[in-house]
Structure 1
Amino acid sequence: MSRHDPETETTTGVADAAADVRNGVMRLARRLRAERDPGELTLGRLAVLGRLERDGPATTSALAVAERVTPQSMARIVQHLISAGLAERAPDPDDRRAAIVRITDAGREQVQQDRQRREAWLARAMSELSDVERDLLVLAARLLDRLADS
């Protein structure tokens, strides 16, 4: 005789839901990437510019921790952004031995243009949803944001 185990069913249900969420998020991320112009910055470089725009100046090591990459990888990304005129190095006001990286006006414009292009596509796609579906999607986005911070 088989025994009914509600805990196993709950665990399986959560695992199935997690797979559905992962699949949906991954497909949306790929679709948003497809809205980028070819030849633009890599996603890693764009992520660093976005972080500098959002959070303000930071050291290369702080950026590496925040973006979960090695300090060496971040140093290469930062150097590319500086060479392209999208970021600049300045002395750290709290520690003159260190340097901070900050976004330039050109970098800010690059981030904003990229964001606007992708958000325009998303707004067009969302306009096909019902009001209830859009409200649910906004709630889901907030929940995904919370999960990302956990």
Structure 2
Amino acid sequence: MALVAAPQPPAAIDRSAVDLRLSVMRLARRLRIQRVPGALNLACLSALGHLDREGPATTTALAAVDRITPQSMTRSVAELVERGLVERAPDPADRRQTLLKITLSGREFIERDRQLRDAWLTQAMGEQLTDVERDLLLLAGRLLDRLADSPIKEEVS
């Protein structure tokens, strides 16, 4: 039986990268706390948000966005359909495919969820940050978007 070597981290990890990761994770956890009561799990919420922003999609396309298996997304889609937040419809371009579309209830749900989190963040920024700090944070948000859009490096085994 051959042993597989664990992926090796870069030779030197910048402490600022560690601090940034921890800060982003803490803020993400805090934003999750501010969600709608009876909230969806993160996979469902992500799929619903994608359908709201980008329009109809297949289960496979939604799975690719979150880098999860289509089987895992199928479970999330089933919950969304059961709750009446998403509906299935034949793809007009390829009748063998099924498109998922957000319903009016789904739009209302995601909007309420976003409003709760945005309201908390607006209040926290107003109470905790100076005008200069707020401007810096907005710039940092654009930089975080650039980092999030950077290419994903595949692990080498």
User: What is residue 4 of structure 2 aligned with on the other side?
Assistant: none
CA distance in 2, matches of 1:134, 1:76: 39
Once the two structures are superposed, what CA deviation does each residue of 1:7-54 show, in whole Å capped at 9, x if it has no partner? xxxx85x71111111011001011111112442211211111001001
CA distance in 2, matches of 1:78, 1:100: 11
CA distance in 1, matches of 2:29, 2:74: 26
Once the two structures are superposed, what CA deviation does each residue of 1:80-139 show, in whole Å capped at 9, x if it has no partner? 101110001111122111111010010011000000001100000000211110011111
User: What is residue 143 of structure 1 aligned with on the other side?
Assistant: 143
CA distance in 1, matches of 2:121, 2:72: 31
| TM-align CA RMSD | 1.3
Percent of matched pairs sharing the same residue: 60
More helix, by proportion? 1
CA distance in 1, matches of 2:101, 2:36: 24
Query: Between Structure 1 and Structure 2, whose CA radius of gyration is higher?
Result: 1
Q: Count how many residue pairs are aligned between Structure 1 and Structure 2.
A: 139
Q: 1:62 corresponds to which letter in structure 2?
A: A
Superposed counterparts of 1:1-150, under 5 Å: 15-128=14-127, 129-150=129-150
Secondary structure in 2 matching 1:94: coil
Structure 2 gaps, min length 5: 1-10, 151-157
Structure 1 gaps, min length 5: 1-10
Instruction: Kindly indicate whether structure 1 or structure 2 has the higher relative contact order, using CA contacts under 8 Å at least 6 residues apart.
Output: 2
CA distance in 2, matches of 1:38, 1:96: 37
